[in-house]
Amino acid sequence: MTETVISLLHVSLLVADLARSRAFYEGVLGLQVNPARPAMSFDGVWYDVGGGQIHLINLPNPDPVMGRPEHGGRDRHTALGVIGFTATQARLDAAGLAYTLSRSGRAALFVRDPDGNALELVELSQAREAK
C-alpha cells in the first residue's frame, strides 16, 4: 500500500499576545473563530480557512523576530487564497500594515502578523493555478 499525504489540516502559529493577534486575524483578515477548540493548558483560538485551519497558540515564541527577511517570500510562511486581492490590499493599507508584493508579478503579497509570522495572501484564481 502506498502512503499519500492528501491535505493540509492546520498550521499552528505561536503568538505572544492573543488579543493583539486576534485583532489582526479577525479585524484585518476577517477570519471567524471556530468555537470547537477544546480546553487546553494554554490559551489560543482556531480559525477555519477552506478545508484547513489556522491555530493561534498563545505561548512564548522561541524564534527570533529580529533579523528575519523583509520579504516574507524569503522566509517560512503560510499561503492563504483570497478573493478580492485589491480589497485585501486596501484593508492592510487602512490598518497601516507593511507588506511586500510578490516578486513574481502575480496578485500576491506578503505580510507579517504582530508576532512576525509571515503570511502570503494570493488572489484565489492565481492560487488555484499555482497548485
Cα 18 versus chain centre, distance: 14
Report which of 70, 128, 129, 78 is spatially closest to residue 103, judged by C-alpha positions: 70
pLDDT score for 86: 93
Residue-wise pLDDT for 91-102, tens only, equals 999 999 999 999
* 5 located within any domain: no
In a domain, 3, yes or no: no
| Grid cell digits, residue 66 | 529580529
Instruction: Give the pLDDT score at 120.
Output: 95
Number of structural domains (the chain) is 1
Residue by residue, DSSP assigns 63-98 as S-STT--SSGGGS-EEEEEES-HHHHHHHHHHTT--
Show the domain range for 51: 10-129
Domain contains 1:
no
124 belongs to a structural domain: yes
Segments of the chain with pLDDT less than 70:
1, 126-131
Confidence (pLDDT) at 15:
94
pLDDT at site 2 = 74
The C-alpha atoms of residue 78 and residue 102 are separated, in whole angstroms, by: 14
- Any idea what the CATH number is for the domain that residue 42 is in? 3.10.180.10
Residue 28 lies in a domain: yes
d(CA 123, CA 101): 12
